[in-house]
Each structure stands twice: as structure tokens, then as C-alpha cells.
Amino acid sequence: MKPFDPGLVHAPVTPFKRDQSVDYPTYAKIIEFHLRNGAEALALPMPEGEDMSLRDGELRELFEFAIKQVKGRVPVLAHVSDAGTSLAVNRAVHAEKTGAAAIISHPPYFWHPRPAMVVEHIARIGAAVKVPFYVCSPPVESAGTELTSDMVMQLIERVPNLVGVVDASLDFVFMEEVISGGRRLRPGFQLLAGRDYLVSAAALGGNGAIVPLAGIAPKALRRVYDLCRQQKFTEARGMQEDIAHLHHLVREAGISGLKDGLAGIKCAMALMGRECGMPRPPVRPIGEVERGRFEEAVQALPFLKAEPRGW
Amino acid sequence: MLMPIKLKGVMQAPVSPMRDDFSFDGEGFAKMVDFHVRHGAPAIAWPHHKAESLNLTIAERKLGAEIAVKTVAKRVPVSIFVGTLSEEDSLDLARHAQKVGADAILTISPYCRRPAQEEIFDSIVRIGTTVELPVLTYNSPWRNGEGVEFTGELTRRLIERLPNYVGMKDASFHSQKYLEISRVALNMRPGFAIIMGVEHLLASYPLGACGSFSSSGAIAPNLCNKFFAALEAHDWETARECQFKISELWRLFKEQYPSSLKGAMIMMGRPVGPTRSPLPTAGKERLEFLRKRLEELDILQTEPHGW
């Protein structure tokens, strides 16, 4: 059997209506946009899909909706992270039953347990499902404990269906250790680049990528991804710098202490003609004045001229 | 008149040899510097943390700078690190480096104060306008916003302000932080040298890094040179092998850096003596462990022994 290899994975945002309910008609449009624009798989809801702001029931419903909408055209990876182990385990089981091609999970939200307990938490989630399992670094340091390469090695020993790491740490040392050490323990062990930084991970021998900015700039990400697949890393530099520039603008927009970019992504999506509403509270949308400045800065990025407008 | 300086490849940062009574061994240091140049170092940079910089007196740092410049004798460029706890010392060391004929200085705003971006800017401008030498800065962000971090915006302002600002030693080892600096600096000042603090080069070379200040070169200069040649040839397969091996070496040495490294150097026939307190000196058990690992990694068998 061919090992599971998700390739270029798009991470859609989650749209909300003014009454804070999930806007499913728009979510359907978002999913279709990604499938038409180069997604080889979808991962949802990633941190940029505001997983932390969704309730347990909503997360299940959202995943069921996505599976129905995609209808098997591409694999759908379910991101299941929570503060409590049993909460995450139960939702992972639900996602698998619903049709998830793989489960992604990171160290628990909020708590800072000792490394052994973090390993235990993740191992239990992985053991609860049979589909391929990925462990993910938490999106920001303050959202939970750091995922270390030692933890990854212990998890490989304990969890037979652990096929790889989704790297959101962007840390060169972590990537080197996980790829070289991981493959010694489990040949073919994968590293998927997270957060739109593809070149370094690919040069080190990483596999695919999960790209949250694909809703804004799918063509540029596809180009960098293809160049990386062809081992043309130096050629990918210019486009990766462009994407890093967009990433910078998105992260710096809004007043989030985490610089999570949630307000920026949705604002840039709207600017590209794909209105997805506002982020859920307590995340504030970008204020009027800043919005103007942000839009000017984004529109001044020459590479975005080649990107699709509207749905 | 600003002399152009070419920085490229795995540049060596020698350790500071000590005698048994912990005094600075100037003769040993000259041998150390010469060893690196003879084994292909494209530049010499001293005294980095690996050289116990902050445990040396200012007089010892000046003496070492003179020995380094004299020993290298223009065969390759010499950069002198002038970072200290007190900015007055840094200014003094910078002037001294220029006087004795160094080719560049590497500097950072004093650590341990969590300086604001404005404070770092002022500090680098003061040091950078004190000398006419090319200036490199040292980006050293720690977790949770501590350390001394050069953001892309700070780098942009410094390039605008200082015509002699030619490069960054980057120890962020982080895709996002790296690209914040590189996309700004490389486009504003073509040829700006981004030098990795440790040879995490496979992740950064494709994005425009020109080389590294070496951590493992004291033990494995051949591996370092092979690694950089593979990168330049775009031979990614060989580069990966080298990177992963160097990454393992770094894991061995980063604990209580540079004690283990100095211990391993003695094992390779280069007696560089103990490490100054509060850092420990590698004991017998640690040395035995290192010997075993270096043998497994094929380092003992393939790298130069003696001076």
C-alpha cells in the first residue's frame, strides 16, 4: 500500500455570520475555492480556522459538513486539539468515523504539564484512531507547551500510526532533529511544513505543507511548493520572500497579543473578493483606519496581481 | 574609506585556549587560529561565546584580537566580536579592533537588559559610527521575547543609517524571523552577509544565507567544508547528510557550551585546556561518552588530529 502523503494541504478559514453562527453557505464556497485552486488535501479547522473559538458540537458539525461538501475529491485531515485529553480523544474518534483521512493534534491547550504527560496526552489521541496520525507544534508558544524533538521520538516509539509532524515551530533545529532522528526510528517519517514557510523544511527533506494563506494567494504557494518538489530551493527564494511579506502584514494587523493573524487573514480574503465575515470574539476585527492602511499595503504587493479574485 | 569584505562559507570561530591555571594561553591561541586557516577557514571570527568571550578580561580580548590579526596575516578576513555587558567596553574594543587591523567587527547591544528596539538602534549606531570598519550585528532572540532581537524593521533602519553595516549573524534559526531580516536586507543592500550563528545552513542557504560562524569546525573542519561545497553545488542529498551529522554534533556540544567542545578538542590532539568558571570543564565520564559518539559519527576517523 502506498503510504499516505497529503502533498499541498490548504487550511481554510471558518466564516461566521453576524450572529456568530457558522456561515455554512460561505464555508461551502471557501472549500470549493480551495479545491479549484490547487489543494491536494484540506486540513480543518487549523488555528487559522479558529478551532479554539468553536464549541465541541460545532467542531463536529463543521467537520461533517466539510466531508459532505468535499465528497471524497481530496483527503480531509481533521485537526483535533483541546485542553482535556478525553475531549480530544472523543472528537478524534468522531472525526475518524465521519471520514477523516488523518488526524492532527498538538500538545494540550492552556496546561503546561511535564513532558511525560504531554506525550501521554498525544499518545492517547493517536491510539484512539486507526487513520494516519500527525503531531503538530502548537501555533504559538503561549497556547500550550512546546513540542520538542525528544517528545516526537517518544511518540514514535509509542504510537504505531504516527506518520509525521506538522511543523508550526519554524525552528531549524527542531526540523533537523525530527527529520533525521524520526527517520532513523521510522523510515518515511514525514515533516509537513506549517504556516506558509516551505523552503527550509523542504530543503531539509520535508514532505508536504499545510498552508493557511492559500485562501489569499494559492498560486504563489503552489509555485513555491512545486519548485520545492523539484528540489529548486534557491529558485523558490523570491516567491517565498513574497509570501513571507504577506504573512508579516497579516500577522501584524489587528491587536491580537498572539499576533495570530486571524483578523488580517479575513480582511485580506475580503480584499481578494472573498468575503468571509469577521473573526469570532474576543478576536477583534481590524479597525477602520488600520484597515485602510492594511489594504493599501496588501494591494501594493505585486505578486498578488496574479492571484484569483472573487470566488 | 570602507574596504569591501568577502564573507562566505563556514567561517571559523576559534576557542580560547587556557593554561591549567586558567590563564589565557596566547601561544596556544595562535596555534588554534593557524590550524583553522590551514584547514580551509574562509574567515576567522573571535571571541564568540564559544571562546568564552564574556569570561575574558577586556585586556585579554585586546591581546587575542592582536594575536588573531597577526597570525592570520591577511590570508583571510578577521572579524572581532565586541559585544560585552557594558557598552563602554564595546566601544573601547571596537576602536581597538580598528587600530590593530581587524577587517570587521561583530556587535550586539549589551545583553541581559532586554533592550527595546530603539535602544538597540542607538547602541548599534553609537558603535557603528565609532569605527570605519565594516560592522556585523548579532541577532540573538531568546524565547518569550527576551534576548536582543533585530526585527526586519530595525535592520532596515540600520542599513539606512550606517553605510558600513554589512551583515547579520543570525541565531534565530527560525524561518519567519530569518525571512523578516533577509527579505528586507538582501533587497536593500545586495551582498549583505547573513551568517548563521551555528551551521544550520541547509534551511537558510537557499534563502540567501552566505555561510555560518562555525560551532563544530574545531572538531570537524573537513565536514564543514564538504557541507558548504555541497550547498554551493546544489547537491542537496550530500548537504542533507552533512547537515544531519552536524546537527548531531551540535546536540553533543550545546550542553554547557563550550566545555564539551574543548574536551573533545583535547581528544583530537589539540590541548586547549579547561573552561573558565562558572562553566564546567568536561570530566572523564563526559569525555569517554564524547569519544564513543564521535567514533560512531565517523568524526575521530576522518578529521584532523593535532595542530
**Tens digits of per-residue pLDDT, B72-116?**
999 999 999 999 999 999 999 999 999 999 999 999 988 778 889
Per-residue pLDDT of B114-139, as tens digits, reads: 889 999 999 999 999 999 999 999 99
Q: What is the pLDDT of residue A43?
A: 98
Residue A297 lies inside a defined structural domain of this protein: no
Q: What is the mean pLDDT of residues A307-311?
A: 97
Is pLDDT at A265 greater than 90 in this prediction? yes
Per-residue pLDDT of A67-120, as tens digits, reads: 999 999 999 999 999 999 999 999 999 999 999 999 999 999 888 889 999 999
Residue A126 lies inside a defined structural domain of this protein: yes
pTM of the model: 0.94
Q: What is the mean pLDDT of residues A131-150?
A: 87
- Give the residue, A143 or B149, on which the prediction is more confident: B149
Q: Confirm or reject contact between A204 and chain B (CB < 8 A).
A: yes
Domain boundaries, chain B: 9-219
Confidence of residue B1 (pLDDT cuts 50, 70, 90): very low
Rounded mean pLDDT of chain B?
94
Please give the share of chain A, as a percent, with pLDDT higher than 90: 90
Q: Tell me whether 0.90 is exceeded by the ipTM.
A: yes
- Give the residue, A141 or A190, on which the prediction is more confident: A190
Across the interface, whether the CB atoms of B200 and A172 are under 8 A apart is answered yes
Q: What is the pLDDT of residue A67?
A: 98
Q: Is B237 left (phi over 0), alpha (psi -120 to 50) or beta?
A: alpha
What stretches of chain A show up as alpha helix (H) in DSSP? 24-36, 56-70, 85-98, 115-127, 149-158, 172-185, 199-203, 218-229, 237-252, 262-271, 288-299
Residue A38 lies inside a defined structural domain of this protein: yes
Residue A295's Cβ-count burial label (10 Å; 0-12, 13-18, 19+) is middle
3-state secondary structure of A166: strand
Q: Distance, in angstroms, between B54 CA and closest chain A CA?
A: 25
Give the domain extent around A199.
8-231
Q: Given B187, B239, B247, which is nearest A180 (Cβ)?
A: B247
Residue A66 lies inside a defined structural domain of this protein: yes
Q: What is the mean pLDDT of residues A134-146?
A: 81
Residue A305 lies inside a defined structural domain of this protein: no
Q: Confirm or reject contact between A203 and chain B (CB < 8 A).
A: yes
Across the interface, whether the CB atoms of A244 and B236 are under 8 A apart is answered no
Residue A13 lies inside a defined structural domain of this protein: yes
Residues of B with CB under 8 A from a CB of A: 143-144, 152, 173-180, 182-183, 187, 200, 202-208, 234, 236, 239-240, 243-244, 247-248, 250-251
- Give the residue, A141 or B199, on which the prediction is more confident: B199
CA-to-CA distance for B12 and B14, rounded, in angstroms?
Answer: 6
Per-residue pLDDT of B61-72, as tens digits, reads: 999 999 999 999
Q: Which residues of B touch A179 (CB under 8 A)?
A: 244
User: What is the CATH topology of the domain spanning B9-219?
Assistant: TIM Barrel (3.20.20)
Q: What is the mean pLDDT of residues B195-203?
A: 94
Q: Distance, in angstroms, between B8 CA and closest chain A CA?
A: 16
Search chain A and give the residue with CA nearest B245: A180
Q: What are the backbone angles phi and psi of residue A3, rounded to the nearest 5°?
A: -65, 150
Residue A182 lies inside a defined structural domain of this protein: yes
Could you tell me the CATH number of the domain that includes residue A181? 3.20.20.70
Q: What is the mean pLDDT of residues B182-207?
A: 96
Q: What is the mean pLDDT of residues A19-42?
A: 98
CA-to-CA distance for A250 and A260, rounded, in angstroms?
Answer: 9
- Give the residue, A220 or B110, on which the prediction is more confident: A220
Count of structural domains, chain A = 1
